[in-house]
Structure 1
Amino acid sequence: MHRNDAERLADLEARLEQDDPRFTHALRAGRPARPREYRRTGLWYGLAVGAAVLIAGVVVPDGLLIATGLVLMGIAAQLLDPRQAPPRRRGNRSAGP
């Protein structure tokens, strides 16, 4: 490998380590983990909380709880949509390769 290629790989490794340390540690250990973009456990919890609030709003006839449950479920469902690109994180990254 040329020196320039080795520098690029080292730079890429450093960026990946900074962006998702859990993923890079798992790769080093030989037990791959899902990258951050594909970890959506929190969204499933949001969907469950939205459903619970919606059900509570129906049981206790309260329009505000129903509306809150619908909004939470709508947000979680939108974020769980597989056709949508995963949300990007904001950060201070240098532009260009």
Structure 2
Amino acid sequence: MPQSDDDRLVDLAARLEHEDPRFARSLTTGRPTRPREYRRTGAWWVLIAGLAMLVTGIAAPDGLLIAAGLVTSGIGVQLLDPYRRPDEGDSGGAPGG
């Protein structure tokens, strides 16, 4: 028996509420916010911290701080990637799963 459109909409709303409650609540109030996949505030802070570590490591010649700054900056840049798929990191780098 085919599912009615109302049931599909209710299922979609429930799934959205489960995946991103902040976005779902903002839609009901009429003032939508960005969905979770477009919020990048944490990634910017990681990138800023990494660059600060890198500059500090260069200013006070410390190889460990330079390396940590490079790694942290790389993580921040990867988090800012707009084409990143959420399930990309689960495969461990192996193609196809």
TM over 0.5: yes
SS at 2:4 equivalent: helix
Counterpart-to-counterpart distance in 1, 2:50 and 2:62: 15
Q: Give CA deviations for 1:19-51 in whole Å, capped at 9, x if unaligned.
A: 101001111000010000000000000000001
Unmatched 5+ stretches in structure 2:
88-97
Q: Give CA deviations for 1:61-81 in whole Å, capped at 9, x if unaligned.
A: 110100010111112112213
Unmatched 5+ stretches in structure 1:
89-97
Structure 2 residue aligned with 1:37 = 37
Counterpart-to-counterpart distance in 2, 1:3 and 1:80: 39
Structure 2 residue aligned with 1:81 = 81
Residue identity over aligned pairs, in percent, reads 58
Count residues in correspondence: 86
Q: Matches of residues 1-97 of structure 1 in structure 2 within 5 Å?
A: 4-82=4-82, 84-88=83-87
- RMSD of Structure 2 on Structure 1 (CA): 1.6
TM-score (norm 2): 0.81
Structure 1 ranges of 4+ moved more than 6 A: none
Amino acid at match of 2:84: A
Query: How many Å apart are 1:87 and its aligned residue?
Result: 2.5
Amino acid at match of 2:45: Y
Amino acid at match of 1:60: A
